[in-house]
Structure 1
Amino acid sequence: MESYLLAVILVLYCCPQIILGGCFAVGIQILWMRKHSVHISRLMGIIMVTVFCFGAINCISKKNSMQTEQLNMLQDKWCTLAGKIVDIQTKEDETIYLVRHATLLYAKEKIRISGIYAYQQQVLKEETGKVGDWIVLKGYYKMPQKAMNEGGFDAASYYRSKQIDGFLFQAVCVKKKAVSAPIRQNLYALRERLDRVFLNLLPKAYASLAQGMILGEKQNVDEDMKALYADAGIAHLLAISGLHVSMVGNVLRRGLKRMRLKGIWADAISFVFVVCYIVMTGGSPTAIRAGIMYGIMLLGPRLNEAYDLLTALAISAFVELVYNPYMLASSSFLYSYMAIFGIIILGKPLVENYKNSFKRKKGRMQKCKDVFIEGLLVSASIQVMLLPLQMYTYYEVSLFGTLLNVLVLPLSGYLIGDLFVAAIGGMFWIPVGRTLAIVGEGIFWLYEWLCKGSLEIPGSTIVTGQPKLSTVVIIYICIFGVGILIRKSKIRQMVLLAACYFLCSLGSVQKVPEFEMDVLYVGQGDGIFLRTDKKHTIFIDGGSTSDQELGERTLFPFFKAKKITKINYWFVSHGDEDHISGLKYAITNGYRIEHLVVARLQKNQEAIKKLTQLAGAYGIPVVYMSQGQSFQWDRTRITALYPGEDADVSDANAACLGLKIDVGEFSGLFLGDLGTCEEEEIARQYDLSNIDFYKVDHHGSKYSNSEVLLSEMNPKLACVSYGEKNRYGHPHKEALLRIAQYSKKIHKTAVDGQLKIVY
């Protein structure tokens, strides 16, 4: 397994930090081989080399089969899709098909793809396809995009791990061929019926949680509930886990055995039932892992072999990565396997040490105490193993997540069992199902109360920032070392567990540069972050008209990834929505802003007046800046170049707050959406010959970026911030040609993503 994993990393990711971890695992395997005979060592060596070669060949073939360049050329083109429907999601206004074994056609191009989501507007029932049907659709193709900013969602990597090559929007059915697929169609019908049953049994928010937990429909989960569970550190409860699979399989298996069915038939029927359940719930990496391990558990006694958790885990990982090596980048895959590793490496030894540490008194109280402490140790072990991964993927951790998991995990078995029973009862008669669901509803209410209570405690969530990948790998190597110590050392287990938590805390330590500037890709808008003298944080604007969730999807993830817990000075060029929408989100969501800075001449403009009132309502002091005024500290100087007293305040663009920022040897010009007349006035009044960086005015408008201004500056780097295919046509060709005459390089955020300058 270690050698195959190393091949996947080498071929697909070429990441030296993870290769270090892979080499460490292979090294342990080699040391283990040295303890055995020469023949066994040679055999194991041959097997390792063979598996490595197989992994490399498999990954190369998968990598070559991905036609990224060809698909990128089809972006936003009207294409024809032909393939087989393997899953359907029905919403109020559209039907979403998951199409596999598909071919995408455009003009003379014919591209084979693994899978695609097709979005069809709601039509008559007879015009929609069924699971198993072959279908031909036409629509606009779009590729999943890579993360354009630090902390952003990497859709390309996520959907690649699910073997999805893109989306077909505004899909129209051209042709379909009905195919008999009774198993898949019946499973889909069962899932749809259970969806309706849960909506009848529970309040809407709790019903969506039940749909996510039991049916794997996480897209239906109430957004507020999803955020609450994630912030409290128990979002893993929303995934189909080994608990679900083992409960489905074991309950059926025991029932069949009580009916005096032979063991092998009971095992076979329960395994088939588990496979059907995994298919019905969408086949997540977690569910597939649990299904494979359940099958190995059933197969072991038939081969006269004892069930070994680590071996079963390795086999399941091998099978999943052979099928799709890109699954290694899936957070659900990593979380699932790391949780089990936590139980194996830390949980089991800690529980064994606790049991052997002293003699126990007999009685129910002692038994309850043992169950609580053992649950605490196992939960803490899982949390320790997931903490570095959580810091790397979510950039924050819940301080009370461990304790909360100790309280909620013992109840999760009862919750899942009750939901299964209530769903079955509700399928026959809704009142029976509602009665049975009372326990589940009570547990959901308790979960909600515990989550809200834990989050109300000051400092319950800590922003850690995103650690380097090499740091994460080193932490895991050290945790494995602690796991070995737990087995062999007499040091108290809680001391070793505390050492693991300390190791994880090192991941939050980040090296802060002396100076950093990030021009974010915000779509059609502006958003610029600066950190000066290692400690002062500045933000300019922060808005977008093309991204309605800019604050939630771009600004906050960026702040968390960079461990930016506050902004000292947030400057606003003017009050247009494409410059302040994200700022308003930050204010209303309690982000710490020490000063909001606007131009004094804009204070009576309606948009600025509303913004300053909003800031005042949240206790943020407003600073009004006039032309010529400066802020200065250490090596930093921020000067307002505009607007002057004679500026046209009736035009928001013409009265923009124009800034010149000098930090050491760096000098940058940020003029918002000023036009040609205002730019020429600034060029006449100020010496701009030392400008290194120019934030292109008005998103590259031809009515800005005058030759007078550009010739005065000759900037080394210019950056234009705009949204792809915006309705204004920004950036205009005329403006780009003028800028190219005077600037050595032009960075386009819609093409190149975030611009980062560090020194």
Structure 2
Amino acid sequence: MVSRCTSDKNQPVSIFLKGENELKQPLVWSSLGWITGSLLCHWGWKSVSLYAGLAVGISVLGAWFFYQYRKGLLVTLFLVGLSVGAARYAYAEVNNHSAIAAVVGSNGETAAVITGEIVSRPQVDGDRLLFDIKVRQLADGRIRWRIPEEEIKVTVRLQNETEWLNAHQFQRYWKIETLVVLERPSPARNPGAFDYRAYLYRQQIHWLAKGESLDRVKILSADRDHLFVWMDRLREELGSQIERIYSPAYAGLIRGMLLGERERVDAEMEAAYSTLGIVHLLSISGLHVGVLVACLYFLLKQTGLTREKAALLVILALPFYVILTGAEAPVIRAAIMAGLSLLAVLFGRWKELLSFMALSLLIQLAWNPYQIFEPGFQLTFLVTGALIIGVEPIARQLPFPWHRLNQGIAVALVAQVVSFPVLIYHFYEFSFLSWFANLLFVPVISSLVIPVSTAALLLGFVHETAGRWLAGFSSLLLDLVHKGTDLLLEWSWAHVTWVPPTLLWVLLYSLAAIYLWISWAGNLIFPGRHRMLSGLCFICLVAVAHQAHLWGKDEARIAFLDVGQGDCTVIETPEGKVILVDGGGTPFFPRKPWQIRRDPFEVGKRIVVPYLKYRGIRQIDELVITHGDTDHIGGLLAVAERFPVRRVIRNPHPPGSQTEKRLLQTLAKKGTRIYTLSPGVSWEVEPGIKWKFFHPDPSRLIGTNEKSNNDSVVFLLSVFQMRIMMTGDMEREAESKVLSEWALPTVDLLKVAHHGSRTSTQAKWLQVLKPRQAIISVGRENRYGHPAPEVLQRLQAIGAAVLRTDRHGAVTVKIRPEGIRTETMLQP
């Protein structure tokens, strides 16, 4: 790199050099070493003594070398940070085990009576009471075991409205005793799915407990004077005040923004904001804490306090705000960052914000080293560090005459460039409108909505009418934001799914982003050429990620997803075409108002759509709806609302339920073509892939609108000479009809009909098809007894290898011209 003299317009030279100086700060190098050590320990040896010994040895050797030669300090700090970080991570791993497992075993479900103390804020979600408990005793039969305070998650099913009302009285630090069923958290059962077991492991939680009634919970004692209990009461009072001055449409959102009650925010609104990359606006994050800290600091300064005294008072107030808002990890992280920034002001070191950020990172990783794998943690520090280093140089290069506007644009651009790989790696989704949404809505929320809402809340205690007036103004602003988000969401082309990138791509992208920043902020010879080259490298890497779902596709992939008691199959061809066969579904049961949950489990939203995103799928070419049962179509509405569908193939029956009617209306509204096919229709999907339909015959239907299993769409898929029979929920009548009318070939793989019901998969059907593999899509411990023992016996008799989604999780079949390879998510 060669420097040269520049005019004032090229001021970024000094800023760039300043950024280089910032990177030489000791705490920055220590934090980088700590991160490196944590990752090395995660992927390698986990020996506390080894890493502790390295830390001591490197410290002594580095101190001697620096004393002798006045060199090597930063390298020493990096290596010491690496060793200490690895030792801390290894210590966490060695001690992250369950004492309960030694009593009840490692797997399966176990009934036990647990005694302990509630350590989280109890939440009522419809007919469930949720809280964490620190177990101190466990009774298994007649034996009572003492447990060294292991934390578990408890869900108590509320049986009636009286229990629902009583559940709202539960508080933290109550000591309780209750009968529960203990079970291990479920691992990810589908590719790309959220791994709940791994998530809880990082919180050192190894068990879930389920209680069947609040009547079985015995309250032993209640600590009503604990600081956290007082703050919980204060939060409830503040929440009630928000409910009084805001309309129901906005009260939950304001409670989420000001009090950290994310569970109060509407689930659909949260999903919409997440798509646009602005979900951080809906709950307490660094933005909210920063705004409130800035407002309080400004008000204290207006009273005549010095800068240092104002900063000190705000620092003292931060712990109470953390407790008030629930002391969740994002709030704690934001408060530590804000507090250390204020310390920088207090000690007159505000120019060393990067060092204080590094200190915040060290504190948090020392407390919980597993945070390094949390998306929120990664986004917080990557984006904050990039903003500290990168914004001002970029802002000075922008052509607009208003510096604030240049800064806002630079903030949005830097934040989006840095957050992009994190978002697509963890969430498989990124909107090209995210930068614009942040540029447009973040100033409104941070500069107007949060301060005005806070003022309305406080003013409401003094003069409720005045508080409602201010609340009305902030509601108007939020309404404008919502309309803006709705408008941006209509541009579906901009909201793209992405295959999670490889670590190599992340490394190359990071280097390209740094080169791009240097080419604009630095002082290079031939800057125009560097900007063009860096921009080209950056765009090429984004293009590679954008098309990653098509790269290296020399195989067809068929995924039988684990959707519980239902069916869903995703077929991807080598040329990138996507065939979706059914979409699972959750049975609907009428519920009373008190039983309705904030975000009830829905197969399409929780399983099918995340899998399609994970695979980078952006369009469904063919949607086969075998028949209209809820366990086959219930999840398709979420798919139809999220992805364009080119064509639908279904049986001839008219819609038999409101769910099916709504699905078909949604598809028709989006311009999807809907067809029914006659037996014998076939065509080539692409070279090497064909399918042929055998059933049903529109002129000779077997079933009825209410029971259409026997009119399920049945087809044979041929992929590179491999044959797969898809059967829906056909029963023996349909099997006999197909056998009598068609000379069926043997198949390599059979999707067993009707979840392995005894009314399907007759012996004659299997004798003709002779499948080598049989896939049964079935729910765990379902009430129907699927798969039937006689069906399993018939499959065993013909030598078929049976794979079941209840035991194996999702089953993925990869087909190449040379053969079939089958993978399962779980090992039974």
Q: Same fold (TM over 0.5)?
A: yes
In 2, the alpha carbon distance for the partners of 1:474 and 1:49 equals 23
Paired residues of 1:7 and 1:55 also in contact (CA < 8 A): no
In percent, how many aligned pairs have the same letter? 23
In 1, the alpha carbon distance for the partners of 2:655 and 2:312 equals 73
1:168 aligns with one of 206, 210, 228: 210
Corresponding position: 1:623 with 2:706:
no
Deviations 1:84-133 (A, max 9, x none): 33423356765433434666654457765334244463356599433232
Aligned to 2:618: 565
Aligned to 1:648: 702
Aligned to 2:180: 139
Aligned to 1:3: 33
1:506 aligns with one of 544, 552, 555: 544
Q: Relative to structure 1, is the Cα distance of residues 346 and 297 closer, same or farther in structure 2, using a 3 angstrom cutoff?
A: closer
- What are the within-5 Å matches in structure 2 for residues 694-733 of structure 1? 694-733=750-789
Q: Relative to structure 1, is the Cα distance of residues 603 and 457 closer, same or farther in structure 2, using a 3 angstrom cutoff?
A: closer
Paired residues of 1:129 and 1:176 also in contact (CA < 8 A): no
Return the TM-score normalized by structure 1: 0.85
In 2, the alpha carbon distance for the partners of 1:476 and 1:71 equals 45
Aligned to 2:692: 639
Q: CA deviation at 1:741?
A: 3.5
Q: Relative to structure 1, is the Cα distance of residues 181 and 675 closer, same or farther in structure 2, using a 3 angstrom cutoff?
A: same
Aligned to 1:549: 602
Corresponding position: 1:313 with 2:369:
no
Q: Relative to structure 1, is the Cα distance of residues 374 and 303 closer, same or farther in structure 2, using a 3 angstrom cutoff?
A: closer
Q: Relative to structure 1, is the Cα distance of residues 407 and 156 closer, same or farther in structure 2, using a 3 angstrom cutoff?
A: same
Any gaps of 5 or more consecutive residues in structure 1? Answer: 16-32, 358-364
Secondary structure of 1:96's partner? strand
Aligned to 1:213: 257
Secondary structure of 1:138's partner? strand
Q: CA deviation at 1:458?
A: 6.0
Q: Relative to structure 1, is the Cα distance of residues 269 and 350 closer, same or farther in structure 2, using a 3 angstrom cutoff?
A: same
1:330 aligns with one of 374, 378, 389: 374
Q: CA deviation at 1:372?
A: 0.6
- What are the within-5 Å matches in structure 2 for residues 170-569 of structure 1? 170=212, 171=214, 172-252=216-296, 267-300=311-344, 308-353=352-397, 366=401, 369-411=402-444, 412-457=446-491, 459-490=493-524, 491=527, 500=538, 503-510=541-548, 511=551, 512-546=553-587, 549-569=602-622
AA aligned to 1:596 is V
Aligned to 1:26: none
Deviations 1:606-648 (A, max 9, x none): 5699589645565433332233332224222212233467763
In 2, the alpha carbon distance for the partners of 1:703 and 1:402 equals 55
AA aligned to 1:445 is D
In 2, the alpha carbon distance for the partners of 1:612 and 1:223 equals 20
- What are the within-5 Å matches in structure 2 for residues 574-589 of structure 1? 574-587=627-640, 589=641
Secondary structure of 2:567's partner? strand
Return the TM-score normalized by structure 2: 0.79
Aligned to 1:670: 726
Secondary structure of 2:581's partner? strand
Q: Relative to structure 1, is the Cα distance of residues 616 and 106 closer, same or farther in structure 2, using a 3 angstrom cutoff?
A: same
Deviations 1:575-624 (A, max 9, x none): 2222222234544x27432222234xx44685699589645565433332
Paired residues of 2:132 and 2:151 also in contact (CA < 8 A): no
Q: Relative to structure 1, is the Cα distance of residues 141 and 694 closer, same or farther in structure 2, using a 3 angstrom cutoff?
A: same
Paired residues of 1:388 and 1:504 also in contact (CA < 8 A): no
Aligned to 1:28: none
Q: Relative to structure 1, is the Cα distance of residues 541 and 93 closer, same or farther in structure 2, using a 3 angstrom cutoff?
A: closer
In 1, the alpha carbon distance for the partners of 2:767 and 2:351 equals 75
Q: Relative to structure 1, is the Cα distance of residues 56 and 404 closer, same or farther in structure 2, using a 3 angstrom cutoff?
A: closer
Paired residues of 2:89 and 2:369 also in contact (CA < 8 A): no
Paired residues of 1:146 and 1:157 also in contact (CA < 8 A): yes
Paired residues of 2:557 and 2:812 also in contact (CA < 8 A): yes
AA aligned to 2:684 is Q
Aligned to 2:645: 593
Aligned to 1:96: 130
Any gaps of 5 or more consecutive residues in structure 2? Answer: 1-30, 46-64, 589-600, 817-828
In 1, the alpha carbon distance for the partners of 2:636 and 2:345 equals 61
Aligned to 1:23: none
Paired residues of 2:295 and 2:451 also in contact (CA < 8 A): no
The size of the alignment, in residue pairs, is 727
Secondary structure of 1:522's partner? coil
Deviations 1:120-170 (A, max 9, x none): 633565994332322223334455433322343333344444555435344
Q: Relative to structure 1, is the Cα distance of residues 252 and 628 closer, same or farther in structure 2, using a 3 angstrom cutoff?
A: closer
In 2, the alpha carbon distance for the partners of 1:494 and 1:671 equals 57
Paired residues of 1:533 and 1:636 also in contact (CA < 8 A): no
Secondary structure of 2:474's partner? helix
The more displaced of 73-82 and 746-755 is: 73-82
Deviations 1:226-278 (A, max 9, x none): 23322333211123223433444455456556667788775554323101111
The more displaced of 101-110 and 208-217 is: 101-110
Deviations 1:627-686 (A, max 9, x none): 333222422221223346776334622333322111112211112222345445655765
Deviations 1:349-384 (A, max 9, x none): 323555xx9xxxxxxx94xx2211121011110011
Paired residues of 1:518 and 1:757 also in contact (CA < 8 A): yes
